[in-house]
Amino acid sequence: MAKMAFSFHSKPLVLQFMLLILFLLGTRLHAVEPPSLTLDYYASTCPVVLETVKKEMECAVLSDPRNAALVVRLHFHDCFVQGCDGSVLLDDTITLKGEKKASNNIHSLKGFRIIDKIKNTLESDCPGIVSCADILTIAARDAVLLVGGPYWDVPLGRKDSVTASFEQANTNLPKADEGLLSIISKFLYQGLSVTDMVALAGSHTIGMARCASFRARIYGDWEATTPGYDPISESHLSNLKSVCPPIGGSDNNITAMDYVTPNLFDNSFYHLLLKGEGLLNSDQEMYSSVFGLETKELVKKYAADPIAFFQQFSDSMVKMGNITNPDSFVSGEVRRNCRFVNT
Ligand code: HEM
């Protein structure tokens, strides 16, 4: 019998609601108002920009399809910290503490060299014109498209920050072992809705997760969410356990989050959630948590209707890409090297 309405998270309901309210009251909501971004921002100053990013991303994804996932995640981790301002790309220096070593990023966030390579090419085509934040945003769109996902137009004109926030990278980004309400509050804080959250999490239809991110799930709640005995599901679980032993230094062993079509951007991720086979605790909660009435309906909708998923995903990516850093529009710059602020 299906064991539904299951909550993995140990925090009681009241505490989760308090966290949600505190997070919303205590912090400023980012307005996802369209900033001064336009589709033709580089039309006269760097007309080759879209073509150049596309070509570079084609090479990157052809050499390894996972590169698509790396770039999409980089863009997400950029936008949730100070807005989409390229802050995630900055290396640590004596005067600047970057975001790369924050708990959500260390040993996990990759793809920086792909962006460096695109930046180098663009610096020779149109020096000092195209921001790293814009490059990342276009590259994420191309990445999705190259592995079978939807196309959307990318508004452009972001500036690169001259700062980064290690602290925000630790607090703003959602974690695999975090409760659903807490994750929802992090999206609301950015001006994104529950619908945006469920659609954007559909990115987990591509890419890999490390054992450290799913160990608790496969040795914990997995069997409670998978309804009844299913030999394929059972053998999948034992594969996962062999990749990720309960103890021992296997934290960085990786496996695909969508084991059915790991390199294809489709709606198979939502089908896995219906079967209780979400690899990350946070993903499965969208379908199985007692707090997830709305999220569950959305999961069912995107599983049943891939076109609705693609449409919402495109809209939500534009919305996420429009999260601005008001400071960057005043004090921002176009970095010459995405890893360092200009001197
Ligand atoms: C809803 C809350 C989310 C949580 C809790 C979450 C958490 C995670 C975790 C734990 C991983 C595996 C990292 C590792 O083990 O190294 C991961 C991978 C990934 N995430 Fe998310 N994520 C969320 C939302 C998103 C969103 C909104 C996007 C993009 C729009 C995204 C894109 C990706 C991609 C593409 C990967 C695979 C990266 C790779 O192959 O290395 N995630 N996420």
Return the closest-CA partner of residue 273 out of 282, 264, 262: 282
Residues 263 and 150 in one domain: no
Structure tokens belonging to residue 319? 């919305």
Beta bridge partners of 254: 210
Q: Is the pLDDT of residue 24 over 60?
A: no
Q: Quick one: pLDDT band at residue 327, thresholds 50, 70, 90?
A: confident
The whole-number pLDDT of residue 11 equals 47
Residues 310 and 290 in one domain: yes
As a whole number of Å, the end-to-end CA separation of the chain is: 63
In a domain, 298, yes or no: yes
Q: Is the pLDDT of residue 227 over 90?
A: no
Atom number of ligand 1 nearest to Cα 111: 41
Nearest CA, atom 9, ligand 1: 176
Predicted confidence (pLDDT) per residue in 183-197, tens digit:
999 999 999 999 999
Helix (H) or strand (E) holding 57: helix 49-63
Q: Is the pLDDT of residue 299 over 80?
A: yes
Q: What is the CATH number of the domain that holds 87?
A: 1.10.520.10
In a domain, 131, yes or no: yes
Angle between helix axes 49-63 and 132-146 (nearest 10 degrees) is 50
**Candidates 9, 30, 75, 77; catalytic one:** 77
Q: Is the pLDDT of residue 97 over 70?
A: yes
Residues 184 and 244 in one domain: yes
Q: Is the pLDDT of residue 22 over 60?
A: no
Residues 162 and 274 in one domain: no
Residues 145 and 216 in one domain: no
Residues 272 and 324 in one domain: no
Q: Which residues contact 61 (CB under 8 A, 6 or more apart)?
A: 67, 68, 143, 146, 147
Residues 147 and 279 in one domain: no
Largest Cα–Cα distance in the chain? 63
In a domain, 225, yes or no: yes
Asked if 154 and 317 count as a contact pair (C-beta separation under 8 A), the reply is no
The letter for the amino acid at 304 is A
Counting ligand 1 atoms within 8 A of each CB, the residue from 8, 66, 73 with the most, and so the one to mutate, is: 73
The whole-number pLDDT of residue 326 equals 81
Residues 167 and 297 in one domain: no
Residues 323 and 298 in one domain: no
Separation between Cα atoms, residue 142 and residue 61, nearest integer Å = 10
Distance 206 CA to ligand 1 centre (A): 9
Give percent above pLDDT 90 in the chain: 83
Q: Which domain holds residue 229?
A: 175-316
Residues 189 and 311 in one domain: yes
Distance 121 CA to ligand 1 centre (A): 28
Binding positions are 78, 81, 83, 85, 87, 99, 174, 204-205, 258, 261, 266
The whole-number pLDDT of residue 31 equals 46
Q: Quick one: pLDDT band at residue 6, thresholds 50, 70, 90?
A: very low
Indicate if 9 belongs to the active site: no
In a domain, 93, yes or no: yes
Q: Quick one: pLDDT band at residue 10, thresholds 50, 70, 90?
A: very low
Asked if 159 and 334 count as a contact pair (C-beta separation under 8 A), the reply is yes
Atom number of ligand 1 nearest to Cα 72: 35
The whole-number pLDDT of residue 4 equals 35
Q: Quick one: pLDDT band at residue 13, thresholds 50, 70, 90?
A: low
Return the closest-CA partner of residue 80 out of 316, 324, 318, 314: 324
Predicted confidence (pLDDT) per residue in 120-132, tens digit:
999 999 999 999 9
Q: What is the CATH number of the domain that holds 198?
A: 1.10.420.10
Mean pLDDT (the chain) is 91
The whole-number pLDDT of residue 121 equals 98
Q: What is the mean predicted confidence (pLDDT) over 239-254?
A: 94
Counting ligand 1 atoms within 8 A of each CB, the residue from 84, 110, 203, 206 with the most, and so the one to mutate, is: 203
The whole-number pLDDT of residue 33 equals 52
DSSP state of 340: B
Beta bridge partners of 256: 208
Domain count, the chain: 2
Q: Quick one: pLDDT band at residue 28, thresholds 50, 70, 90?
A: very low
In a domain, 198, yes or no: yes
